[in-house]
Amino acid sequence: MRVSLKTLHAHKFNESFQFFVYGPPTYGKSSYLIQSLAEVFGEKEVLRRDDGKEHLVCVKPNWDAWKEHMVFLPEQWMKSMEWQQDKGEPGIRLDWDDEALWATNQKWADEFSIDLSGVKNVSRTVFNTEGATGLSPNWILKRFREVPGALRIEVTKVTGSEAGMDQYRRSAKAYSRWFSPDGKKSGSRLEFIDNFYSYLPSRVYQEYNGTRRSYSAIALRNLRRTYDKLVSEGKLVSADRMRKEAERVGVSLGP
């Protein structure tokens, strides 16, 4: 994968590489990260083709790499950053799955998001490469998605037969942003395309899916806590009150 090559290049030359992977649910965004991490931290060779371009040959993928180099919650991200910072040298890569869930543009003014963006400005000294996923780049904080040099990688399904392995065929198109010198014009430039299958080995999928379900439950608990707080403050109407008001006027809202 080209994203794996860019990760290795960034670490070799102590450069910064940030990217955001987006696309509809179940399209394989997390699978793309897991497969790339398996290449980066597995047994591999970087070969040069006749046209002079490099390509990566992964001899033995490290399918457990995501457990160490992918985080899901803000606290996990902070702990990984602190641990690497204490080592005194940049780490190769850290991916934040569903970062857009936490660094949402709906919370651009809260204290955590403000401080998080401040760390992001200097995080290259901690990890050379940082990846993230979300449903849309427009849902993540603007100061994250418009980092100079960062790539937006769109994952799409490859049209064709839906039988067998073909149903898992995906295309990951990486775009960079360009700006005119006067800042009045901007646009997107295609940097590379990674074609891959979203299918993961059964053991890897089962382990990842279990982890994902656990942090989905945390997000739901956060919603319940916020809802209960707003109801207690009178800023939202409780379900029981809505049902009673509806019954009073002869309308049933169901169980």
What are the residue boundaries of the structural domains of the chain, listed by start? Answer: 2-199, 201-249
- Among 95, 101, 77, residue whose Cα is nearest residue 31: 95
Phi, psi of 222 (to 5 degrees): -60, -40
Query: Sorting pLDDT into bands at 50, 70 and 90, what band is 248?
Result: low
Q: What is the mean pLDDT of the chain?
A: 82
Amino acid found at 49: R
The residue with greater pLDDT, 203 or 116, is: 203
Of the segments 42-56, 57-71, 131-145, which one has the largest average pLDDT value?
A: 57-71
pLDDT, average across residues 122-146: 76
The residue with greater pLDDT, 91 or 162, is: 91
- Determine the topology of domain 2-199 in CATH: Rossmann fold (3.40.50)
Report d(CA 228, CA 180) in Å as an integer.
Answer: 49
Contact 130, 145 (CB under 8 A): no
The SS3 assignment for 110 reads coil
Contact 175, 155 (CB under 8 A): no
Which ranges in the chain belong to alpha helices (H)? 2-12, 29-40, 65-69, 74-87, 99-102, 111-122, 142-145, 202-232, 239-248
Report d(CA 34, CA 208) in Å as an integer.
Answer: 9
Q: In angstroms, what is the C-alpha Rg of the chain?
A: 21
Neighbours of 133 (CB within 10 A): 24
Is the pTM here over 0.85, yes or no? no
* pLDDT(33) > 90: yes
pLDDT digits (tens, 9 = 90+) for 158-207: 876 566 778 889 999 999 888 778 777 878 889 999 999 999 999 999 99
Q: Which of 121-125, 182-186, 211-215, 245-249 has the lowest mean pLDDT?
A: 245-249
Contact 97, 71 (CB under 8 A): yes
